Amino acid sequence: MPSDAVAVWEVSLSDGIFRIEFEHGTTSGRRVIYINGKEIFRRDWMFKLVGKETFPVGHAGTKATINIEALSGFAYEYTLEINGRSFQSFMANRSRTSRTWLLKLDGADCRIVLEKDTMDVWCNGQKMETTGQFGDESTETHFVLGDHECCIKASNSGKKRIMHTLLIDGTRVTEVTE
């Protein structure tokens, strides 16, 4: 972590998990933003100590904004917005609109994400080529990882909820919560 970091967030997006760190020099006004340890933004000698900084995150360029607000004296509050929503609201919505599976495949870690609203599938930050099959009882989204046949099956649970199940070579993979 940078030595002067005043705020850190872990943002889970379809194309990866991104650690956002923010430095704020309250005497110099310096503002530095790091994503996954890499500096992506710097401003030195800012006279206005409060305000906003907007920047893209991830391969898709998801819009992030850090808000800097004065509390009392020399205390500041730092909040993060993702796509115009508070960090907490964005992450709660992500848990409703996406499904994530973590697994080892051929000795490598894989993070597979399904975006339920678009039915896009991502693996380790890469959007996958998919084909859909529609049946009476379920919908299947097929894709290939290396030599492995993969399928995300969407079926009605009977409780007005759609269940999403990942099968790799016919074997069910347990979903995780991020």
Residue 44 phi/psi, 5° resolution? -110, 155
pTM summary value: 0.80
The answer to whether residue 109 scores a pLDDT higher than 50 is: yes
Share of the chain above pLDDT 70, in %: 96
The answer to whether residue 48 scores a pLDDT higher than 80 is: no
Name the nearest CA neighbour of 26 among 3, 52, 6. Answer: 6
Range in 41-45, 60-64, 111-115, 174-178 the model is least confident about: 174-178
pLDDT of residue 72: 79
pLDDT of residue 53: 94
What amino acid is encoded at 44 in this protein? Answer: D
pLDDT of residue 4: 74
Q: Which domains occur in the chain, in start order?
A: 5-83 (2.40.128.180), 98-176 (2.40.128.180)
What amino acid is encoded at 164 in this protein? Answer: H
